[in-house]
Amino acid sequence: MKQHKRTASRLIAGLGGVIVAGSVGSVLASPGYAVDSAGKVVTSYYGECVQTGSWKQELSTPECDAALAARLEAERLAAEKDRQAARLAALESPAAAPAPRLARLSDKSNVMFEFNSAVLTPAATQELGKVLGMIREFDEIDSVEIVGHTDSTGPDSYNQALSERRAASVRQLLESRGVRSSVVSARGEGEGRPVADNSTRDGRARNRRVDILISGNSVE
């Protein structure tokens, strides 16, 4: 009888104090669980599979960790549902429009307009020929937006009117070279949107400009 008690005590100590009630006959051996001599997973007094020190979530089995398996499956299904919703939203929402291409005519290198005038110089006409080449690179044109700007020299009202006239001159030239009038717009911003310091000669030259923004589908 004493020998039997010592054997039982050693068994309990060897399992870290877990009282072993038996083994799960239907559960195959797994690296994360203790097994008996027959290769069956050992269970505790409460019917729980006995985990080894090497157990981790990836080694869990549905038979031994039903709650964990159910939670992981629920998380997997929720993640898959989110992925499907994201794919559906991407298909239903319109693709983001590409940023328009900018062509800029300024007095930085060559004078684009006659002094205090909206008359295009030969240099401006040449630059607009390059802009036409850019426009022809598009498979389809959505819009050609022309915006005139001036430096800060002179009254605000005069600069506003001058910027509008210069934008209109550029529009007229582009339309005369085949750009559809239905996609072209022109407006003036006067001196209100400088890109350089108006206190310097170079800055004022850069501010005297016409920006042309081209939007559409490019040729692939």
**Window from 52-66, 120-134, 143-157, 204-218 with minimum mean pLDDT:** 52-66
Sequence-ordered list of residues with C-beta below 8 angstroms from that of 174, at least 6 positions apart, any chain: 128, 131, 132, 135, 144, 146, 184
Is the pLDDT at 5 greater than 50? The verdict is: no
- 108 and 214 housed in the same domain: yes
Q: Three-class SS string for the chain?
A: CHHHHHHHHHHHHHCCCCCEEEEECCCCCCCCECECCCCCEEEECCCCECECCCCCHHHCCCCCCHHHHHHHHHHHHHHHHHHHHHHHHHHHCCCCCCCCEEEEEECCCCCCECCCCCCECHHHHHHHHHHHHHHHCEEEEEEEEEEEECCCCCCHHHHHHHHHHHHHHHHHHHHHCCCCHHHEEEEECCCCCCCCCCCCHHHHHHHCEEEEEEEEEECC
Confidence label for 203 from pLDDT (cuts 50, 70 and 90): very high
User: What domain range is 61 assigned to?
Assistant: 2-92
Give mean pLDDT, residues 88-110. Answer: 79
- 127 and 168 housed in the same domain: yes
pLDDT at site 46:
66
pLDDT at site 24:
47
- 200 and 157 housed in the same domain: yes
- 214 and 188 housed in the same domain: yes
- 22 and 124 housed in the same domain: no
Distances (CA, A) of 75 to 55, 72, 78, 87: 21, 5, 5, 18
Of 64, 92, 120, the domain-final residue = 92
pLDDT at site 96:
62
Distance CA 91, CA 169 (A): 42
Give mean pLDDT, residues 159-177. Answer: 96
Is the pLDDT at 209 greater than 90? The verdict is: yes
More confident residue, 213 or 19: 213
Q: What is the pLDDT of residues 118-136, one digit of tens each?
A: 999 999 999 999 999 999 9
Is the pLDDT at 13 greater than 80? The verdict is: no
Of 92, 111, 144, the domain-final residue = 92
- 87 and 107 housed in the same domain: no
pLDDT at site 52:
80
Q: How many CA atoms lie within 13 A of 192 on its CB side?
A: 14
Q: Mean pLDDT score of the chain, rounded to an integer?
A: 80
- 145 and 201 housed in the same domain: yes
**Window from 6-20, 94-108, 111-125, 201-215 with minimum mean pLDDT:** 6-20
Percent of the chain surpassing pLDDT 70: 78
- 208 and 177 housed in the same domain: yes
- 47 and 130 housed in the same domain: no
- 86 and 106 housed in the same domain: no
Q: What is the pLDDT of residues 34-54, one digit of tens each?
A: 777 777 777 776 667 887 877
More confident residue, 11 or 219: 219
Number of separate domains in the chain: 2
